[in-house]
Structure 1
Amino acid sequence: MTNTVEVAIVASAFGADPVRTAGHRKWAEASRRAGAAGFEVRRELFGYEADAALQRLRALGKQIAELGLWSVYSTPASLYAADGQLDAAALSLALDQATALGARFVKLQLGAFAHHAYGEAIATHMRGASVRLVVENGQLARGGSLAQFVGLFDALKREGCANVLGMTFDIGNWAWCGVAPLDAAAALAAHVEYVHCKVAVGEGARRFAAAPATDDPRFAAVLDKLPRHVPRGIEFPLDTARIDEDAAHRVAWLAAA
């Protein structure tokens, strides 16, 4: 019998407007009803700037934990600034917010990483932290290229800081950068600690995220290349007409896929 995988639901799967209007707690409750193990809080979906205050995040984190869920704190901020330097201020703020939430992972975009990873500086920031830092491949060329991620992990290894951070592997986002997800999985699987599950449909400016077909062999092949012990996040839109039913179905499917 195949071992099941932990599945989280990303807040955006419920729709941006519903999350901004009702707040994250409602959708954490929906995630628990669906049988998810975790819930991803999205900084860009806070309805009010005050929701990002540490006191508010502590309260939200307590509510999520009381539901029996672990959490991810996702911010659109980038780890590396436009000049390729480490954005220490963005990292520090994200760590403070994720720690207040009590998150398992804090997820940033990669940004403009070039050659030097600043591994020792990252390690200094992470010292004593209870949250794990992961960077995600985005939809833009800067922060979404396969070469950047291969270069990042090579640079961290050279700097003696190979384990200072991991990767959120977004299966669907590679399409925006013209990278075959299977190729990316083969190159990066050793560094993947969290998987965002979705596919991309359409072309160019009309490309958008969608739910994978449960019998999609290409999607299944990518999952097979990635480590099975890491959690998977549902980041594709759920069916709003039957939200609880669809969420429960998708959690069960991804846990066993």
Structure 2
Amino acid sequence: MLNVKNSASAPEIVIVASAFGAQSVRRLGHAAWLDTVADAGAAGFEVRRELFSHEAEASCEALHTLGAAVAARGMWAVYSTPAGLYRDDGTLDAPALAGAYAEADALGARWVKLQLGTFAEQADAATIVRVGAGRRARLVVENGQHEQDGKIARFVALFAALEREGASGALGMTFDTGNWHWSGQAPLDAAAALAPHVEYVHCKSSEGLGARRFPVAPAPDDSLFRSVLDILPRTAPRGIEFPLDERAPAEDARRKVAWLAAA
């Protein structure tokens, strides 16, 4: 089997907590899955704030304990929050950003991931830089499944605004290969337009239509998925955000980590 953690040519692989099922993670906690993730050969584990069953799990003490457990297994963490970087009126949500940074740093995360939210015209780059000063985690925003944060044009406009405001490196992007389908966007077009800004990739496909759409693992012969990966930087870690086989999650995790690293 490919030694994913030590292969210089293979991208690092992350397993997102939700891959084990939202209800299972809420019931058992994130730490219950760490051995499975490490044994699968993953380099990282993504902690999802929305999967905490109690607010106490978001305390600095609890996050520090979880982060230490991740590190003890030779892995690093991503911290994901459903908060949007921009409010519905288009203004930067600085308190949400500061709170996400504080929690991510308590975890010891490499990245802190927010949804884009409703970006309008002004990035407010100076505030982003100020709030992020001295933080350990790197800020990345993700394309979501909604109109406000799932359109290619909004991300193009965001990065253009950051450049105009002299802060082109203030944040990066989490590129979710499957979420574009929810918002009616072409993943290949998105990859071509946004690849220079992509630092982390959420990997999944989807089935169904409209509100009945749901995430699935990309098929081995999914040429669209592979074409998107070919455009995106291979240095960007790839996250497994599709459901793993609940009957044999450990075995499936090992298979999927090796497969995604070689894709």
What is residue 56 of structure 1 aligned with on the other side? 62
Paired with 1:214 and 1:253, the residues of 2 have a C-alpha distance of 9
SS of residue paired to 2:149:
coil
Paired with 2:206 and 2:153, the residues of 1 have a C-alpha distance of 21
Output aligned runs, 1:82-93, within 5 Å: 82-93=88-99
Q: 1:190 aligns with which of 174, 188, 196?
A: 196
Output aligned runs, 1:8-157, within 5 Å: 8-157=14-163
CA RMSD in angstroms comes to 1.0
- Deviation of residue 118 (structure 1)? 0.6
Of all paired residues, the percent bearing the same amino acid is: 60
Q: Which runs of 5+ in 1 are unaligned?
A: none
Amino acid corresponding to residue 121 of structure 1 in structure 2 = T
Amino acid corresponding to residue 224 of structure 1 in structure 2 = D
What is residue 210 of structure 1 aligned with on the other side? 216
What is residue 254 of structure 2 aligned with on the other side? 248
Aligned residues: 257
SS of residue paired to 2:18:
helix
Paired with 2:57 and 2:8, the residues of 1 have a C-alpha distance of 40
SS of residue paired to 2:14:
strand
Q: Which runs of 5+ in 2 are unaligned?
A: 1-6
Q: 2:13 aligns with which of 7, 25, 28?
A: 7
- Deviation of residue 256 (structure 1)? 1.1
Cα deviation per residue 1:60-88 (whole Å; 9 max; x = unaligned)?
Answer: 10111101110000000000011111000
Paired with 1:30 and 1:104, the residues of 2 have a C-alpha distance of 20
Paired with 1:88 and 1:182, the residues of 2 have a C-alpha distance of 32
Amino acid corresponding to residue 182 of structure 2 in structure 1 = W
- Deviation of residue 2 (structure 1)? 8.9
Output aligned runs, 1:169-184, within 5 Å: 169-184=175-190
Paired with 1:58 and 1:2, the residues of 2 have a C-alpha distance of 30
Amino acid corresponding to residue 95 of structure 2 in structure 1 = A
Paired with 2:258 and 2:215, the residues of 1 have a C-alpha distance of 20
Cα deviation per residue 1:140-191 (whole Å; 9 max; x = unaligned)?
Answer: 0011111100000000000000000000000000001100100000000000
SS of residue paired to 1:74:
strand
Amino acid corresponding to residue 20 of structure 2 in structure 1 = F
SS of residue paired to 1:28:
helix
SS of residue paired to 2:112:
strand
What is residue 3 of structure 2 aligned with on the other side? none
Amino acid corresponding to residue 231 of structure 1 in structure 2 = P
Moved over 2 A (4+): none
Q: Is the 8 A contact 1:3 1:256 kept in 2?
A: no
Say whether residues 1:165 and 2:175 are aligned partners. Answer: no
What is residue 229 of structure 1 aligned with on the other side? 235
Paired with 2:234 and 2:182, the residues of 1 have a C-alpha distance of 25
Paired with 1:28 and 1:165, the residues of 2 have a C-alpha distance of 28
Cα deviation per residue 1:18-70 (whole Å; 9 max; x = unaligned)?
Answer: 10111101112211011100000000001111100111101110111101110
What is residue 4 of structure 2 aligned with on the other side? none
